[in-house]
Amino acid sequence: MDDDVCGVLLEPIQGEGGVYVPPADYLAKVKELCTKHDSLLIYDEVQTGFCRTGKWFAWMISGVKPDILTMAKAIGGGVPMGAFAVDEKLAHVFAPGDHGTTFGGNCLACAASYAAISTMRAEGLDKVAAKTGAYFKQGLQEIAKAFPDKVKEVRGEGLILGMEMTKPAGSLVKTAQDRGCIINCTAGNVLRFVPPLIITEADIAKLLVVLKEIIKDF
């Protein structure tokens, strides 16, 4: 890192990379470096934004605010939409129309996003994700404790959770699907759980039963 670096772009919690939560002081230290070298700090919250982590945005866990924030996925509640926001100090860089795209500012997508965000606010989905996520994580940790030779670690925040297995675990996706559960495997050996924010504890309990059984035989 030196004065040649104009910006640092990172996910405050890595999703596809294997659900890695950084140490508590990590973002503050990156911000310190960015400030020192007059670089912009940019968070990619495409996966972690909009209540996923139990906060509206993952950066709110540490409170270390970025200069630029990128968003997509949940912002449209299923309708394709992406957006970015900049801090006030950068607001003068863009004027309306500077960043044009064919579908940019699309009215349908914006209306869907407005409805989705209004619902998240009305239903307090940040708090919901924090609560159901804590229940889910505890269940995963109990499975990890029961099978220490098969599960290396459970990590994540809110409803973005990862269970790192001790060996490649892609085959478990199919095994789980055969049992009626859709899960995902990233980085070769990390089972990643990113369910809808409205998932119930009853549904999570069903998944935990299936997981326990298939991991026992894994």
Ligand X SMILES: Cc1ncc(COP(=O)(O)O)c(C=O)c1O
Q: Where are the alpha helices (DSSP H) in 166-216?
A: 171-178, 201-216
What character string, x for contact with ligand X (CB under 6 A) and - otherwise, covers 152-191? ----------------------------------------
Which lies closer to ligand X via its Cβ, residue 52 or residue 137? 52
| Token pair belonging to 143 | 């499975």
Q: For ligand X, which residue of 11, 67, 157, 164 counts as binding (CB under 6 A)?
A: 11
> How far is it, in rounded angstroms, from Cα 23 to Cα 177?
33
Cα distance between residue 140 and residue 164, in whole Å: 11
Which one among 20, 82, 106, 212 touches ligand X, defined by CB under 6 A? 82
> Which positions from 15 through 74 interact with ligand X, judged by CB under 6 A?
15-16, 44, 46-47, 72
- 139 or 158, CB closer to ligand X? 158
Alpha helices in 50-183 (DSSP H): 59-62, 107-123, 125-146, 171-178
Q: Which stretch binds ligand X (CB under 6 A): 9-17, 107-115, 125-133, 135-143?
A: 9-17
* Separation between Cα atoms, residue 134 and residue 191, nearest integer Å: 17
Residues binding ligand X (CB under 6 A): 11, 15-16, 44, 46-47, 72, 82
